[in-house]
Structure 1
Amino acid sequence: MLLKRSAVFARCYGIVIARRAASTKLGAGQMPKIPSPKHLKGFLDEYIVGQETGKKVLSVAVYNHYLRVNDKIKKDDLEKERLLLECNAQAELEAQEKHNLDDELVPRNEAQAGLKNLQRQLEETRALSDEAAKNADDDLELSKSNVMVIGPSGSGKTLLATTLARILEVPIAITDCTQLTQAGYIGEDVEVCIERLLVDADYDVSKAERGIIVLDEIDKLAKPAASIGTKDVSGEGVQQALLKIIEGHKVEIVVERPVKSTTDNKNNQTVQKKEETFVIDTSNILFMIMGAFVGLDKHVARRIESLKSLSKGGPDAVADPQKTKNDKESQFSNAIENIELSNGKSVSALNLATPTDLVSFGLIPELIGRVPVITALEPLQRTDLFHILREPKNALLDQYEYIFKQFGVRLCITESALRKVASFALKEGTGARGLRGIMERLLLNVNYECPESGISYVLVNESTVDSLQQTEYSLASQVDAKYYSRGQRDDLIRDVYLEDAELGAVLDEEFGRTPTIKKNKSA
């Protein structure tokens, strides 16, 4: 009997100790480490050039979102631990009280002392739990903050989202909103974005519920003024269907999950799938809504000009027909309008967009209300495009140098040539994506001629890029660069130094040469 009672006391005492250990562990925040906003922005700086304001806004928004997620998980775990341990401890106490404390094998004073000690420990545990709940503001629930990113094509919207998902090590799903329709119509239902996130999380529900969903091209869902009063199944209808998902609700989806991969008699891979039902809680999923919103900057500029005219109170407050005509014509321009502020600073009109402007553009107010964080990306300038070619990790220039290295050719592109490429990309108005198209045209002939040709070095200088300009409005599809054999290495370096001393010094160091050509050039 003594051994039995000792086991009871030990078990109860172990429950109390486990309760305290659980409280200490959860109170210390043993959750996935969230990088600070500065660390997040520093990571973004390695891959994305410019967009300082946008990177700061997204870093803070993502940091606060995952703080909210961890806080919610911590509170849920604490509550579960508290209920479980209190229930177990209370049951042990009731069992002990019913037991005969006057057992001859256990002295009365020892049994009573043990019981009082256990009761005291349980009261302390409850007091600690109540204090922890009080300090944690148990009734305080952090609201969800989704993000909307506005910016011209090629400004880095999608790259920002994918880079953040990489550093946070969370799954991400990017869905093009132009493919979505209301349920029951031809197209994809809005739940497809959750299904893609689940697939990216390898069908792990808990992992998917901490992921990021990017709804790209959201501006294509804008309801045109001409469709007011009509059924808009791929525009306003999709916006309405997205409301509950974005706000945070449990969504039941049926997914065909691969269960077995086999090979038929013709050596073709076949995958057997099985339908499974998953329930996903979207309250912890971060939604990033993105779009170019072509023409929104013109609308913002007109609104601000109207406000300025009204504040003056003069005849300028009346709309000028000629100015309205010019504004309509300017909508076909790729250039983003700039607004002159009262302090003399000029900013992109997209930075001054308000929820009212977005409603005027065609988004429903209910959708905008569920996306409290709105940031705009600046259109890329020539300097930005030049740095994008060379500086970020996975830079475009590094990619092409690596490709040519695979077939034994050292590709050399001077700084002047890269600046000219950036100028061409700026004229095309397609942002960073336009850089690859120009580089492909620039290196088409080179890529065709070099493999298995005996060419060891290729130089692309400013004159090579100039020859790409076929007419004032179009670029040529192929140009000729300068080719060098292995024995003409000194000629290559001499020609490089004529236009890019920095690249020449890099080649000198790479080939172990004394930079005599640089001295001759300076002389």
Structure 2
Amino acid sequence: MLRFTGQKLAKSYYSRIGRYAATASGKLAQSRLSNIQTPKTLKKFLDEYIIGQDIGKKVLSVAVYNHYLRINDKQKKRELQRQRDLIEQERLTDDKDEPIFNGNSESKAGWKNLQRQFNSLGQEVEEDLELSKSNVLVVGPSGSGKTLLATTLAKILNVPIAITDCTQLTQAGYIGEDVEVCIERLLVNAEFDVAKAEKGIIVLDEIDKLAKPAASIGTKDVSGEGVQQSLLKIIEGHKVEIAVKRPVKHDIDGQKNQTTTKKDEIFVVDTSNILFMIMGAFVGLDKHIVKRIEDIRKLHNITEADEPSTINEQERVKNLRFSNTLEQVELDNGKKVCALDLTTPSDLVSFGLIPELIGRVPIITALQPLQRDDLFHILKEPKNALLDQYEYIFKQFGVKLCITQKALKKVAQFALKEGTGARGLRGIMERLLLNVNYDCPGSNIAYVLVNEATVDSLQETEHSLASHVDVKYYSGDQKDDLIHDVYEEDKKLGAMLEKDLGNSARIHTHTIQSKF
């Protein structure tokens, strides 16, 4: 009778333990790789917002995928260990008065069966293998899309992101911001959810401004190497205590102004799962890389016989000092690449970053300077394109903005000449449309045409742009004139306007088309 009761209780116990094992299996399944966007999916999403930079997008997509794969792996291991501890505790405390765990063969066989279940659950988890964190360093000229890449990745991953300008950081005790401010901002953007913040992205922008020049050796270092040293602990992954003023109450004062009551709170954030993306333009790094490669070629006697003299080389560097064009390097196979593509950790150390910091950022990728075609496509193709934004703005006050393809190419050419990358496009468009934006609201203007001649009129001198342009305005009953003028320069846009605005100018526009 006792034996029968013991067997019955044992079956009941193992049934309950089996449910624990099933729960563990389910929780492990929830964190499988299907929940992580694949590198191809990430790059496809980036392609919708960012023009060009294919290599950079691939590198970042793989880095982000592997980073969150590492986080999932750690979660699996913690969950598996927690379930094992739970079952062990249950085994030690359950039914102490019954002879279930008295060492008989049935008890041992049941326990071994449970162990086999957990071993099968943990087959995909190498419990003794710990994946290292791989932070990313992105090198690229201003306006090449460094920050946009990071913010777009955060958007698809649905994780909080905080961008900190390193030029504002100083050592503790000096006027400025301590390095912990980047974690504080991430915590705020995560709505003070520590678990959410610990899976976020921190962007340290303008990291090259922390490079300590050789000329400053022996002087007080407020925002250079000292700040780099302070960043080491955070980037590598440690628990950091952050004191934050957290909003706890919103109210309206007697003058109907909104007031916020804040409370000091202490948060402990583990940075081991936070992805750090370090970025900088590193102006002049390309010339350093070219010099390094040329020195190596001289050492191995593989330089060309007609190599320019040292005087000519110095003159070449002097002429390029204020140029926005990055140096090109011709490889042994005859292919030319941007010098930044050949960046090595030693180049960054020579630039002024400390080796300890570079060692914590194993992934280095370079973005290419944008060319005219890139800038042209940026104006009209990606989601949230600049042209779409301006068309929407003009639509708000009842005006249809028409810009020809030739005009957009000319805008791209001006932006390329200014050397400010994609950011320069908005500045040129603002100057181009300043008077238009001033004249149209509240007027009888229904259509605005910006063609190549309009953009040409923006050129004041060889090196500067004006704010006064020759723009064509049309009232609501001048559709025919608008379509006629558009067809003279942009047949595709003309056809679209003819379709959208009606058929009143069909015969007239067919006459224009026959000329092309």
Q: Which runs of structure 2 are paired with 1:187-336 in the superposition (5 Å)?
A: 187-312=176-301, 320-336=310-326
Corresponding residue for residue 387 of structure 2: 397
Match of 1:379 in 2: 369
Aligned-partner SS, 2:465: coil
Q: Is the contact between residue 6 and residue 99 of structure 2 (CA under 8 Å) also seen in structure 1? A: no
SS where residue 487 of structure 1 aligns? Answer: coil
Note if 1:350 corresponds to 2:340: yes
Contact 1:496 1:503 in 2 (8 A): yes
Alignment match, 1:434? 424
CA drift at 1:215? 0.1
Change (3 A) 1:438 1:318: closer
- Within 5 A, what are the aligned runs for 1:29-48? 29-30=30-31, 33-48=35-50
Q: Deviations over 1:50-99 (max 9, x none)?
A: 00000000000000000001111111111011111221123225442289
Post-superposition CA distance 1:204-229 (Å, at most 9, x none): 01000000000000000001101224
1:359 corresponding residue in structure 2: 349
Query: Which of residues 474, 492, 512 in structure 2 aligns to 1:521?
Result: 512
Assess if the C-alpha contact under 8 Å between 2:24 and 2:79 holds in 1: no
- Deviation (angstroms), 1:401: 0.2
CA distance in 2, matches of 1:125, 1:234: 57
- Cα gap change, 1:47 to 1:95, in 2 (>3 Å): farther
User: Separation in 1 of the partners of 2:502 and 2:99?
Assistant: 88
C-alpha distance in 1, partners of 2:456/2:54?
32
* TM-fit CA distance, 1:230: 3.6
Task: Specify whether residues 486 and 317 from structure 1 end up closer, same or farther in structure 2 by C-alpha distance, changes over 3 A only.
Answer: closer
* Residues 171, 227 of structure 2: 8 Å contact kept: yes
- 1:80 is matched with which residue: 79, 82, 86? 82
Q: Taking every aligned residue pair, what percent have the same amino acid on both sides? A: 64
Aligned to 1:181: 170
**Which moves more between the two structures, 179-188 or 44-53?**
179-188
Moved more, 252-261 or 323-332: 323-332
**Cα distance in 2 for residues equivalent to 1:517 and 1:504:** 12
Relative to structure 1, the CA distance from residue 401 to residue 95 in structure 2 (aligned partners, 3 Å threshold; closer, same or farther) is farther
Deviation at 1:498, TM superposition (A): 0.7
**Distance (Å, rounded) in 2 between the aligned partners of 1:509 and 1:252:** 62
Moved more, 391-400 or 503-512: 503-512
Is the 2:28–2:79 contact (alpha carbons within 8 Å) kept by the matching residues of 1?
A: no
Stretch moving more, 388-397 or 501-510: 501-510
CA distance in 2, matches of 1:450, 1:316: 61
Q: Provide the secondary structure at the position in 2 that maps to 1:196.
A: helix
- Looking at structure 2, the residues matched to 474 and 41 of structure 1 have their Cα atoms a distance apart, in angstroms, of 37
The size of the alignment, in residue pairs, is 510
**Aligned mates of 1:316, 1:369 — CA distance in 2:** 39
Distance 2:513 2:251 in 1: 68
Q: Distance in 1 between matches of 2:424 and 2:308?
A: 41
Alpha-carbon distance change, 382 to 317 in structure 1, aligned in 2, over 3 angstroms? closer
In 2, Cα distance between the equivalents of 1:384 and 1:299? Answer: 26
Q: Secondary structure at the match of 1:275?
A: strand
Using the size of structure 2 for normalisation, the TM-score is 0.93
Give secondary structure in 1 for the equivalent of 2:277: strand
Task: Give the letter for the 1:291 counterpart.
Answer: G
What code does the residue aligned with 2:313 have? K
Show the counterpart of 1:25.
Answer: 26
Aligned to 2:402: 412
- Contact 2:491-2:513 within 8 A present in 1 as well: no
Instruction: Mark the CA change 1:274 to 1:95 in structure 2 (over 3 Å): closer, same or farther.
Output: farther
| Residue 335 (structure 1) shift | 1.1
Name the aligned partner's letter for residue 22 of structure 1.
T
Instruction: Mark the CA change 1:135 to 1:313 in structure 2 (over 3 Å): closer, same or farther.
Output: closer
The equivalent residue for 1:106 is none
Structure 2 gaps, min length 5: none
Q: Which AA in structure 2 matches 1:49?
A: I
What amino acid maps onto 1:17 in structure 2?
G
Check 1:239–1:95 CA distance in 2 against 1; reply closer, same or farther (3 A cut). Answer: farther
Could you tell me whether the CA contact under 8 Å between 1:75 and 1:138 is conserved in 2? Answer: yes
Q: Are the aligned partners of 1:223 and 1:235 in contact in 2 as well (CA < 8 Å)?
A: yes
DSSP 3-state at the match of 1:186: coil
The one-letter code sitting in structure 2 at the alignment partner of 1:35 is Q
CA distance in structure 2 between the partners assigned to 1:474 and 1:121 by the alignment: 84
After superposition, the CA RMSD in angstroms is 2.5
Cα offset for 1:325?
A: 4.3
Structure 1, unpaired ranges of 5+: 102-111
